[in-house]
Amino acid sequence: MHIVVCIKQVPDSAQIRVHPVTNTIMRQGVPTIINPYDLFSLEAALAIRDEHGGTVTVLSMGPPMAADSLRRALSIGADRAVLLTDRFFAGSDTLATSYALATAITKIASDQPVDMVFCGKQTIDGDTAQVGPGIARRLGFHQLTYVESVETIDRARRTVIVRRRAEGGVQVLRSELPCMVTMLEGSAVVRRGSMADALRAARADVTTWSAKDAGIEDISQCGLRGSPTVVRKVFAPQPRKEKAVLIEASAHDPVHMAEATIDTLFAALPGLNAELHAAAAR
Amino acid sequence: MSNEAPRSAAKKQLPEHFKAYTGVWVYIELERGQVHSVSWELLGEGRKLADQLKVPLAAVVLGPPDGSARAAVADSFCYGADRAYLMESALLADYRNEPYTRAMTDLVNTHKPEVLLLGATTLGRDLAGSVATTLKTGLTADCTELAIDAERSLAATRPTFGGSLLCTIMTLNVRPQMATIRPRVMAMPQRVDAPVGEVVEVPFDMAEDTIITKVIDFIADSSRDKVQLAYADIVVAGGLGLGNADNLRHVRELARVLGGEWGCSRPLVQKGWAPADRQIGQTGKTIRPKLYIAAGISGAIQHRVGVEGADLILAINTDKAAPILDFAHYALIADAAVALPALTTAFARRLGPAVRLAG
């Protein structure tokens, strides 16, 4: 089995601050992490490799510093890492990103055929969930998103059975390799990686590819030129004209506080009192 | 990378062959005989866009030939569609990416809409990504606001950078302009009975043996486990201001006494204090209750966009400067861990013997 796991280096969202005047993201000093959703996909890929044998290649597109995230993935247990980095990729939207990554996967597959591609369900900075399906479509791989568990892989028949989260239930799907899978959060406990892997990762070379190295011939499909979407503006939401009305109550008297709050709510929502009584009677 | 790449020289120069694309389409999400209510919400929003563009609003219904798709078409007219494109086939009985992508891209290529809206459900997101890639067009996920600009382009606004800012995204030079919108973000339109629209029936010509992926089972969620958070009239939620995971019981208890649902902010899910299906906000559930009580939640934008549809928001927070006071209607400046049990007791007393407090 050869499995490619696509990961993205993202700013730790808990630490993002917005400049109060310019409305720009203050990136300085914000630590970066592997997109948390990607880790569930990496874990699933490693588990399949451990059971069936083979290789896990981690792939990322981003600035040179994204090599740190790839090294981290190696320390968790991935076998090989490829970083796609080139100024031509700057400003890529999800369509252009899926073009670059799919082309790189085709290049990786020319050395060793790829059986599965794993992507995160979505990223925590873009939250689009579009790059995985984009890669699947471009490669002609079967698309299996929101997967809770990969149940069985039959390497002889090239079939795979997964449980996929759908609206109102779980679909059990039988599909074939090669396929693209995105794993649901919480689908597994992500391993910590062994000491041997940590040592290996520290010494490992991250293969770095330019667009040309990755076999990309049509630069017009990359970066800003290859992106059909444009960002017209980025802005902070308008605060409401009036701030919340403070409920007057003694902070030291919880009973009074509660009564004052309920009086306020009943006055503000005239039907609430009757509705609560009706609901309580049921 | 993401949708949010800044660019300067973005001018509208729509290629000639895209100029024939006209009309607003809403994909009607039909699964196992049921239409997801997000589809009706999108017809309500699509109606406004279509009226502004002075073009027809069409519903797209894909489904099995068992009557359910035809019923969905009839309902689409009640929620404002002028026209419906209908593809009926046994191959479309269960959602599968391959036949649905093929059906949708064929319809778009033949009938050429300028705008295509889908619900940001697991189905809608799975389908939208494939369709947009096949059509090589722009797709904006999880929009919170849609508008038509002076040049008749769709301006799709969504939170970005983990929900700390909003951005407006355009697809200027490719058609259709695609967007997904999460359930409950748009208001449910008024249902009007018995209008009749035009039905365009389109044959679906795939063969089952060419479709590799098979649905071998469907395990329905038992209704008892299913969290009705998105549709609850009263929601009580807790944030980091609760101090510890154990204090979440105060949130659950007040929600129970009020006959509502409970939820939480994103950090609580990340800390493992609460399961993901209780998360409220941009990456969790969007709610539109009559009353929303946010206890110990500071009110980051990604939370705000998930609750702004509430009729009345009460914030309980120790910090008068917390961002939640910018969009809550009322605020109680207090420790949530103290105020919540006091409210539970007071509500229970007022509502009488029908409500019992848990031991």
A181: pLDDT strictly greater than 90: yes
Query: What single-letter DSSP state applies at residue B144?
Result: S
What is the tens place of the pLDDT at every residue in B248-260? 999 999 999 999 9
CB B188 within 8 A of CB B221: no
A280: pLDDT strictly greater than 70: yes
Q: Does domain B18-210 have CATH number 3.40.50.620?
A: yes
CA distance B154 to B171: 7
Q: What are the extents of the domains in chain B?
A: 18-210, 229-351
Residue range(s) occupied by CATH 3.40.50.620 in chain A: 2-221
* Nearest neighbour of A175 by CB, restricted to B213, B282, B291: B213
CA distance B317 to A257: 13
What's the rounded mean pLDDT across residues A53-81?
96
A10: pLDDT strictly greater than 70: yes
pLDDT band at A141 (very low <50, low <70, confident <90, very high): very high
- pLDDT on residue B352: 79
DSSP state string for B160-225:
EGGGTEEEEEEE-SSSSEEEEE-TTSSPPPPP--S---EEEE------GGG---EEEEEEEPPTTT
What's the rounded mean pLDDT across residues A183-198?
87
Q: Does B290 touch chain A (CB under 8 A)?
A: yes
pLDDT band at A27 (very low <50, low <70, confident <90, very high): low
Residue B341: count other Cβ atoms within 10 Å of its Cβ. Answer: 18
* Nearest neighbour of A261 by CB, restricted to B140, B332, B338: B332
Instruction: Identify from A8, A229, A256, A263 which residue to disrupt to test chain B contact, counting B C-beta atoms within 10 A and taking the largest count.
Output: A229
Q: Is the peptide bond before A178 cis (omega within 30 degrees of 0)?
A: yes
Query: Which fold, B229-351?
Result: Rossmann fold (3.40.50)
Give the residue from chain A lying closest to B356, CA to CA.
A280
Specify the residue for token string 């990309």: A216
CA distance B31 to B9: 42
- Domain A2-221: CATH superfamily is HUPs (3.40.50.620)
CA distance B236 to B216: 39
Q: Does B137 touch chain A (CB under 8 A)?
A: yes
CA B264 from chain center: how many Å?
Answer: 18
Q: Does A244 touch chain B (CB under 8 A)?
A: yes
Low-confidence ranges of chain B (pLDDT < 70): 1-9, 162-163, 223-227, 353-359
Indicate the SS3 state at residue B123. Answer: helix
- pLDDT on residue B355: 61
Q: Taking CB atoms and an 8 Å limit, are A168 and B32 in contact across chains? A: yes
- pLDDT on residue B230: 86
